[in-house]
Structure formats: structure tokens, C-alpha cells
Structure 1
Amino acid sequence: MSDLLLRGARLPGVPELVDLAVQDGRFVEPDGSPAQVLDLAGRLVTPPLVEPHIHLDAVLTVGQPRPNVSGSLFEGIAVWAERVATLSVDDVLARTRQVLRWQLAHGVQHVRTHVDVCDPELRALRALVELREEARGLVDLQIVAFPQQGVLGFAGGEALMRKAVALGADVVGGIPHYELTREDGVASVQFAFALAEEHGLRVDIHCDETDDDHARFVEVMAAETIKRGMSGRVTASHTTAMGSYGAAYAYRLIRNIARAGLHMTVNPLDNAVLQGRFDTGPVRRGLTRVKELQAAGVNVAVGHDSVMDPWYPLGSGDPMQAAFVLAHIGHLSGDEELRRLVSMVTTAPAAALGLADYGIRLGGPADLVVHDATSEAEALRLQPRRFAVLRDGKVVARTEPAQSRVVWHGDEEAVDFRPR
């Protein structure tokens, strides 16, 4: 007898409704006598949402110690450097615990968080290492050692990166376009790869997050990946400068990215407001070449990046919101493209994080999200709260669906925002 039967689920790409049975935390063949039945009534069911790029150490610090008046990336970095001076382990834990609960309610069960290690005490890193253990079994955390002020341009940067790895960082990061010179930027990429290779870790670098078309460090990442045989273990995040490259250079670069097997992460919420700040018109959208990368076979994932911090004052930690914005600024509004957007917050980031036991399949872990929508397009359009989130076959988050009513010429009637 199965423990649970999810009746009438709609899976992505499957035209007919299906029943999903769970026993001992795994998907099994449905039988005739489940202990419990949950009728989904045609709601969309996806694997857990995966957050490939967020800065949990900075969440909920907007306006601290001062606002980012210009709204620019570089003022955000300056404001955060001031806030780092007042960090404590308890401060970081209190804020990240809150947002981690928000993410779980949205259906996020896997998170890669970049953590600033330009702090001699590594307070934020220590807090996230503690939280990783606390959240295990609900939300799995990967921690990136991220040198927000640079590796070579920050005093003791290389030693701090090594210390961060020794303390338990899972992934090695970098920010080459923020280093003092082009040569230092290249050296910082090579340092990150060497450190990751030495410890058998993955690499995820903030790369070319600028409007400057001379920032071309992603080509260095592709070359290092090929030379070191690290295909599939490296992610280039942001790469917004790619949107400003000439067509001929971009063509060659994208093919080298595909050859290297790089994963790419785009962050449309932050970059849509941070980039183009020096443009007088037309104002650039702060987006890499998503369609061209995908056409070349490159895995592209969507990240949320920030939640109410010096770079982005909005957000609730919902990857579907980031996918919704990408549909607009990335011109991904075609029928197949809307379905692909949902994969960009599920299966694509799962591949980037190297998740081995992921996806809805017989024998797989009964981890899933029930969206209060009947299709991928409707889930993006309505942005509904998640109806239910299951981990190991158990409900770990749920939402009572809201019901709107209007009074139309004296008659009260329900409104569900769905065409009849």
C-alpha cells in the first residue's frame, strides 16, 4: 500500500493528467489502496525549484547603513562593504533563516548562495555553514566563496579564499571585472580554477557583470575549463557584457562556451535595474545572449540574485518571478519559450548545481512543487502561491488558495483570472 496518491497531476510536457504515488519517500507505481489521497484537480506539478544564484548573506539589508541612491551596481558594492563591518553570525542567521522559509514556501529546495568572504573574520560564511546543517533535509545549500571586493585587489584576498574553502565552502567564486586591471582579472580566474581543482570543487564566477564590452573574462573561463578538463563543473554568472559584444566575437565566444560545457546563470531582476545606468538611450537591458546560448546547446539557468539588499530593494525569493521578468526582457514569450522558462528554474539549475538525484520519476525522491495553475504559461502569468511543496513525500509547505470576489451591479461573483 502506498503512503500517498497525488491524483490528477499535470506534468510539464505531458498532455494527459497522471497519478503520482509515494511510498517511503520515493515515487512508486500507483496502486489501488493508498493510505492518503490528495486531489490536485489538474494542477501543474514540477520538480523542486532550484535557486542557482542568490546572496543570502545580504538579504533584508536594504537601506543599511544607507540607501543605494544611484541604484547602480558599484554603489551597491560600496554600501555593502560598509554593512559588512557590522555583520555578526547571529545577524546573518536571523535574516537568512527568514528568507530560506520564504524560498521553501515558493517550492525552492536547492539553493546555491554566494557568500562574501572579504571579511577577515568570515562571519557570514560561518553563519551559512551553520545554516546549511540546520536546513538539511528541507533546503539543500551550496555555498560559494565569493570575493565581493576582488581576490587580488583586496588585501589578503587569496588567503581568505583558501580559508573559506577550508571552513566548508562548496564552490569557488570570483569577480574578475572588479579587479584593478585586466591582467589581475585573468589571474583571479586562474586562481579560482586552481583552488577548485585542488579541492575537487565546482566554480561559479560573477563574470563580466558590466555594460563594458571590453570585459571579456568569460572567454578566460571557457579556456580554463577546456584546459583543465572541468566541463560541466563551471558556471559563469551574469555575463551581461555579452549583450554589448559585436556579433562576430559573440559568435565565436558562444561556440567556445558550448565546447567548454559551461553553465550560464542569468539574473534578470537585478541586472534589469543595475545595468544601463550610464546609457542615455537606448538603455540596455542588462541581459546576456540567452537565446543564442540556448540555440548553441548551452545550459542557461535563471537566478533571483538579491532579496531586499543594497543592489535590489524588491523580491521575495521566488524564482518564478525572475522567470516572469526574463520572459519580457529576453523576448521569451513564445509558447515553447514559456515552457522552457519553467525548466530554467528547475532542471537547468539542477544540472548547474550537479544534483544527481533530482526529477519526477519512478524510484526518485518524492520532492515536488504543486503550482496553483494548470500549465507552465498560467503559472508564469498568474504567479500564484504554491498549492503544496513536498519533500520526501511529506508536505513541507502549503498555501490556501486565495479567492477573489467582485460585486457587479449588486451581484457578487468569484473571479479566478482564468479565461473561460
Structure 2
Amino acid sequence: MIDLVLRNARLRGGEEVDIAVDGGIIRKVGPSLEERGRQEIDAEGRLTTPPLCDPHLHLDGVLSVGDPRFNRSGTLLEGIAIWGERKPRLTRQELVENAVEAVLWEFAGGVQFIRTHADVTDPTLLTLEALLEVKDRVKDLVDIQIVAFPQDGVYTFPEGEALMVRAMEMGADVVGGIPHNELTREDGIRDVELAFELARKYDALIDIHCDETGDDQSRFVEVMARLALVTGMGEKVTASHTTAMHNYNNDYAFKLLGIAERAKMNFITNPFDNSVLQNRTDGYPRRRGHTRVDEMVARGINVSIGHDSIMDPWYPLGKGSMLQAAHLLLHTAHMSGYEQIFSLFDMITVNSARTLQVESLYGIEAGRPANFVVFDAADEFEAIRLLPECLYVVRRGAVALRTRPAVRSLDLGPFRREIDFRRPSR
């Protein structure tokens, strides 16, 4: 007798299997397993996948919308200004409580791997301290990576570089940057170079907010791509946002993506914030505020989707749903082709695991940690269409979360049936 058997689970690709789990490890995967479990669950042919990932989140800002005021212009810069007004009043307790709540929201939606950015431009490094506490507090639910993120820029004030070093010494996992927010192009280049220097020193990953603007002359991603290529660190390097790339002339973008492809670096797009914040000054016609996702995917570049903000000065809505983020990107990135819809699911699962460098801990196969989720949908296409509930979240072999989906019972005249929004079988 083993701990758990999940019966009739439909894996990505359509194969229906049983999953046998014991001691927190997947022991066997296959059809009609003979093993018996102390606990057995029938997935009834529903989509069963490795956990979702959120590779770009700001847990230090979550659930703070309206404090001290709302972002009325909807711009990135006003969001940064509001955050600056709030920072002097932050408390560790508030930061921790809000972040833990947001982690629980994401966990309920199937997320078990998160990369969060911590603003390290405050000399107290309070946000980093708080998120290190959160990381430890929720470790049984979610694996968290923390980015040392210089929200105001590294070289816009005297202590910036020293604070980045202190943050890495305190235990940040990833080196961040924000070159387009520096005072000059030269400072922006130095911002990127510092990230690579610190990553080598501390054997850390790199994730830089890069060219998060509509300015087609913001071109720091080329600096990142060159360093990723010449240092051989490409698979450890991530450029987040890169929204300016949307507005580059096509000849330049073609060359740039070729370098990024050679470097094997990663990109993260953030549909919620990018669609709301970018190109606010365009008037009409208005360009779309995200990077060139479809062109990257066509080249085989690793692209992931992040949630970015949950009810904060930059984005007022959200509940931590990575399926909803993929659903939105389908529309804004013109990725409604059949195969493209499945690639969107890659961007919240396997692509993100690659970005986070957790592939050895990831996947539904014998010997891997027993972390997986069951969605109330038949396949990835239906999951992105329906935005269904996550029925079961299994973490290290334990059924950590169960969801009872809504039942809609119609009873009027000749109409007596349940409505579940599924296409009738033929």
C-alpha cells in the first residue's frame, strides 16, 4: 500500500494514466496501475500537469492598491512614484501578511514555483527581509526565488551599488536590474554589467527589468544579449518585459532576436501590466504594450509568462491566475492559432521551469517530486478557454488543496440540465 494513487489523469498530449506516489516522490506513471493507495483520487480524464510557475511577481507590492492613492494616469512612472510614497510607511508585518496571502491565491490556482522581485533601493532593505521571511514561511507550499531588484535604479543615488551587494549577501537568489530607469545610457549599461558581475561572484541567476517602456530607442536588451553570449551564461539570464522591442524597427529587431537566440537567454512577458501600462502616450493608433512573443516562439527562444502585479500601484486587479495571464496574452499577442494556444500553456509551465532552472525538480515522471495539479478541463486548449478551477493541488505527495467547482443547474420549461460551458461531444 502506497500513499496516493491518482487514477485516470490526462497528461499533456492526451495520454491517460495513473500516477503512483509514495514518500513524496512519483514512483510510477502508467495506464491501469496495480498499485493501491491509502488515498485514491479519480481525475476522470481531466488535465493533469506539473505545477504552474510564476517567474515574475512583485510580492512586496501585492494587495496595496489605493495605498496611499490610486494610479490615475495608469503609467509605469506614476506607479513607481506611488510606491515611493508608500515605502516610508511600510512595516514588515504588512509586507509579510500581504505576500503570504497572495502566495496562497497563486497556490490555489496551481502555482508552486515563484520568482519574486524585492525592491532593494531602501537602505533598510526591509522588503528583502520580509520576503526572505515569506520564502521560509511558505516553503512547504511554494518554492520561491528572490530577485535583488533596484526599483529606482542602481546609479540614481550614491548607495545603489552597495545595496545590491548587501542584498546578495543577505540571501537573494537572483540579481536584478533596471537599466532604462537609470539617468543616462552609460549608467544603464553599467547597471547591466553590474548584474553580470554579481551573478558570477555569487553564482546567481540574472533577471533584469529591461526596456520596460514604449521608447524605441531604449535598447539595453542588446547589452544583455551580448553579455549573455560572450560569458556563456545565457541559460541563466532573463530579460523581463522588453516592451520597447514591440516598437523597434523590424530590421533591428530581426538582428537582435538572432543574437538572443544564439545566447540561449530567456524572456518573460507580463500581459497584465504590459497591456495596461505601456504606450500610454501614443494617442491613436495605439501600439500593443508587449514584446515580440510570437516571433520569439517561432525562433525557439524560451519565453515565459509572469503575473507581475496583483492589486498594486501598477495593476489594480488580479487574483494570481496564470491561466488568466495566458488567456490575455492570446488576445494581445495575436496567438489564437491552434498550436499557439498550446505553446501559451508551455509559457506557464515547462518554459518557466527552464527560466527558473528547476527542471530537475519538475515533471510527471518516476523519481521526480510528487508536485502536480489537476484542472477541471480536458486539455490545455480548454484550460485557457475556460479558465477552470484547479481541482487538486498535490505538493510533495500530499493533496494540499481541493476545490469544489460551481454547478449551474437550469430548470425552466423544457430546459432541465447543467451548464458547464463545454462543447457537446459528437
Are 1:399 and 2:398 counterparts? no
> What residue in structure 1 maps to residue 229 of structure 2?
226
> What residue in structure 1 maps to residue 185 of structure 2?
182
1:197: how far off? 1.0
Distance in 2, Cα, partners of 1:4 & 1:102: 25
Structure 1 359/32 Cα, relative in aligned 2: closer, same or farther at 3 Å? Answer: closer
> What residue in structure 2 maps to residue 22 of structure 1?
21
Identity value in percent: 51
Aligned residues of 2:5 and 2:35 also touching (Cα < 8 A): no
> What residue in structure 2 maps to residue 172 of structure 1?
175
Can you list the C-alpha shifts for 1:88-139, whole angstroms capped at 9, x where unaligned? 1111001001111111111111100011111111111001111111111210
Are 1:111 and 2:114 counterparts? yes
1:419: how far off? 1.6
> What residue in structure 1 maps to residue 363 of structure 2?
359
1:42: how far off? 0.7
Can you list the C-alpha shifts for 1:360-411, whole angstroms capped at 9, x where unaligned? 1111111001001111111111111200000111111110121012233375
Distance in 2, Cα, partners of 1:294 & 1:128: 32
Instruction: Report the 3-state secondary structure (helix = DSSP H, G, I; strand = E; otherwise coil) of the residue aligned with 2:222.
Output: helix
> What residue in structure 1 maps to residue 421 of structure 2?
417
1:331: how far off? 1.2
Instruction: Report the 3-state secondary structure (helix = DSSP H, G, I; strand = E; otherwise coil) of the residue aligned with 2:2.
Output: coil
Are 1:72 and 2:75 counterparts? yes
For 1:12, the aligned partner's letter is R
1:10: how far off? 0.8
> What residue in structure 2 maps to residue 370 of structure 1?
374
Instruction: Report the 3-state secondary structure (helix = DSSP H, G, I; strand = E; otherwise coil) of the residue aligned with 2:187.
Output: helix
**One of 380, 383, 387 as aligned partner of 1:383:** 387
1:320: how far off? 0.8
**One of 43, 47, 50 as aligned partner of 2:50:** 47
Instruction: Report the 3-state secondary structure (helix = DSSP H, G, I; strand = E; otherwise coil) of the residue aligned with 1:69.
Output: coil
Query: Unaligned 5+ residue runs, structure 1?
Result: none
> What residue in structure 1 maps to residue 137 of structure 2?
134
Report the TM-score, using the length of structure 2 for normalisation: 0.96
1:223: how far off? 1.0
Aligned residues of 2:5 and 2:36 also touching (Cα < 8 A): no
Structure 1 186/32 Cα, relative in aligned 2: closer, same or farther at 3 Å? Answer: closer
Can you list the C-alpha shifts for 1:145-183, whole angstroms capped at 9, x where unaligned? 001100001331111111111111000101100111111
> What residue in structure 1 maps to residue 8 of structure 2?
8
For 2:236, the aligned partner's letter is R
> What residue in structure 2 maps to residue 62 of structure 1?
65
Instruction: Report the 3-state secondary structure (helix = DSSP H, G, I; strand = E; otherwise coil) of the residue aligned with 1:119.
Output: coil
Are 1:96 and 2:102 counterparts? no
CA RMSD of aligned residues (A): 1.2
**One of 311, 322, 325 as aligned partner of 2:325:** 322
1:189: how far off? 0.6
> What residue in structure 2 maps to residue 253 of structure 1?
256
Distance in 2, Cα, partners of 1:11 & 1:164: 40
**One of 209, 213, 220 as aligned partner of 1:210:** 213
> What residue in structure 2 maps to residue 277 of structure 1?
280
Can you list the C-alpha shifts for 1:167-207, whole angstroms capped at 9, x where unaligned? 11000101100111111101111111111111111100000
Instruction: Report the 3-state secondary structure (helix = DSSP H, G, I; strand = E; otherwise coil) of the residue aligned with 1:36.
Output: strand
Aligned residues of 1:62 and 1:310 also touching (Cα < 8 A): yes
1:250: how far off? 0.6
Query: Unaligned 5+ residue runs, structure 2?
Result: none
Aligned residues of 2:371 and 2:396 also touching (Cα < 8 A): yes
Aligned residues of 1:17 and 1:42 also touching (Cα < 8 A): yes
Instruction: Report the 3-state secondary structure (helix = DSSP H, G, I; strand = E; otherwise coil) of the residue aligned with 1:85.
Output: helix
Greater shift in the superposed pair: 254-263 or 407-416: 407-416
Can you list the C-alpha shifts for 1:241-295, whole angstroms capped at 9, x where unaligned? 1111111111110010011111000001111010110011221111111111122
Aligned residues of 2:375 and 2:391 also touching (Cα < 8 A): yes
Distance in 2, Cα, partners of 1:262 & 1:77: 27
Distance in 2, Cα, partners of 1:123 & 1:252: 41
> What residue in structure 1 maps to residue 301 of structure 2?
298
Matches within 5 A, 1:30-41: 30-41=33-44
For 1:98, the aligned partner's letter is E
Distance in 2, Cα, partners of 1:278 & 1:380: 31
1:338: how far off? 1.1
Instruction: Report the 3-state secondary structure (helix = DSSP H, G, I; strand = E; otherwise coil) of the residue aligned with 1:400.
Output: coil
Aligned residues of 2:409 and 2:419 also touching (Cα < 8 A): yes
Aligned residues of 2:20 and 2:35 also touching (Cα < 8 A): no
Distance in 2, Cα, partners of 1:231 & 1:2: 42
Deviation >4 Å, runs of 4+: none
Are 1:348 and 2:344 counterparts? no
Instruction: Report the 3-state secondary structure (helix = DSSP H, G, I; strand = E; otherwise coil) of the residue aligned with 2:405.
Output: coil
> What residue in structure 1 maps to residue 156 of structure 2?
153
Q: How many residues align?
A: 419
Aligned residues of 1:2 and 1:31 also touching (Cα < 8 A): no
Are 1:336 and 2:335 counterparts? no
